[in-house]
């Protein structure tokens, strides 16, 4: 399975803010951020995919789950991982990379290359926004609990 891994530098303050949140909340913040920021890659990949029957275009998704085979070939490296692309099938791989009988028609790689910088910058901005929202929600929840205890 082809994998692309990259790091975003300069997120120390956001990482510290995530550490202050409960683990489940920080996981949800990361998940929401990555899913939202992965949409431009998904949209461009879907737009670039050839349309023979339309199945390849319709199978594009931003998801957290892998197929059983993909899961067996990949170890989990992070608390939150998001996968972008078409559903796992031999046809989608053959279309992307080609084979002896078919020329390659890349659709996901150009979508990734064209959006990676925008997505990286969007992750920084959206992560800050999501952390702020989560902090406000937790503060409101604590205030409600405190008010309830007083009554």
- Output the pTM of the full model: 0.80
Indicate the number of domains in the chain: 1
> What pLDDT score was predicted for residue 140?
93
> In terms of C-beta density within 10 A (0-12 exposed, 13-18 middle, 19 or more buried), how is residue 39 classed?
middle
Give residue-wise pLDDT tens across range 68-109: 888 888 888 888 889 898 888 778 888 888 999 989 989 999
> What pLDDT score was predicted for residue 16?
84
In a domain, 70, yes or no: yes
Q: Rounded to an integer, what distance in angstroms lies between the CA atom of residue 135 and that of residue 22? A: 10
Q: Count other Cβ atoms within 10 Å, centred on residue 88.
A: 15
| Contact (CB, 8 A) for 20 and 132 | no
In a domain, 59, yes or no: yes
- Helix (H) / strand (E) element for 61: namely strand 61-63
> What pLDDT score was predicted for residue 32?
93
In angstroms and rounded to an integer, the radius of gyration of the C-alpha atoms of the chain is: 19
In a domain, 11, yes or no: no
In a domain, 105, yes or no: yes
> What pLDDT score was predicted for residue 4?
66
Bridge partners, residue 62, by sequence: 84
Q: Rounded to an integer, what distance in angstroms lies between the CA atom of residue 129 and that of residue 147? A: 27
> What pLDDT score was predicted for residue 2?
60
- What is the domain extent for residue 39? 24-146
> What pLDDT score was predicted for residue 3?
65
In a domain, 71, yes or no: yes
Give residue-wise pLDDT tens across range 130-142: 999 999 999 999 9
Which residue did the predictor score with more confidence, 54 or 2? 54
Taking each helix axis from N to C end, the angle separating 108-150 and 12-20, rounded to the nearest 10 degrees, works out to: 40
Q: Rounded to an integer, what distance in angstroms lies between the CA atom of residue 24 and that of residue 20? A: 11
Q: Which stretches does DSSP call E strand in 28-141? A: 61-63, 83-85
Question: What band does 1 get if pLDDT is binned at 50, 70 and 90?
Answer: low
The percent of residues above 90 in pLDDT, for the chain, comes to: 38
Q: Rounded to an integer, what distance in angstroms lies between the CA atom of residue 67 and that of residue 35? A: 18
Give residue-wise pLDDT tens across range 33-68: 999 999 999 999 999 888 877 788 888 899 888 888
């Amino acid at each position: 399975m082809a994998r692309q891994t990259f790091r975003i530098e300069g997120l120390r303050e956001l990482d510290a803010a995530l550490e202050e949140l409960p683990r489940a909340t920080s996981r949800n913040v990361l998940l929401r951020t990555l899913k939202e920021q992965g949409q431009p890659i998904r949209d461009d990949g879907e737009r670039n995919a050839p349309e023979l029957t339309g199945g390849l275009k319709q199978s594009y998704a931003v998801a957290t789950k892998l197929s059983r085979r993909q899961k067996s070939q990949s170890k989990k490296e992070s608390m939150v991982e998001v996968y972008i692309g078409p559903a796992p099938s031999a046809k989608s791989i053959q279309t992307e990379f080609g084979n002896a009988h078919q020329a390659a028609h890349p659709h996901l790689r150009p979508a990734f290359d064209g959006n990676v910088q925008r997505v990286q910058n969007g992750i920084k901005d959206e992560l800050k926004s999501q952390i702020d929202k989560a902090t406000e929600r937790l503060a409101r929840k604590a205030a409600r609990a405190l008010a309830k205890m007083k009554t």
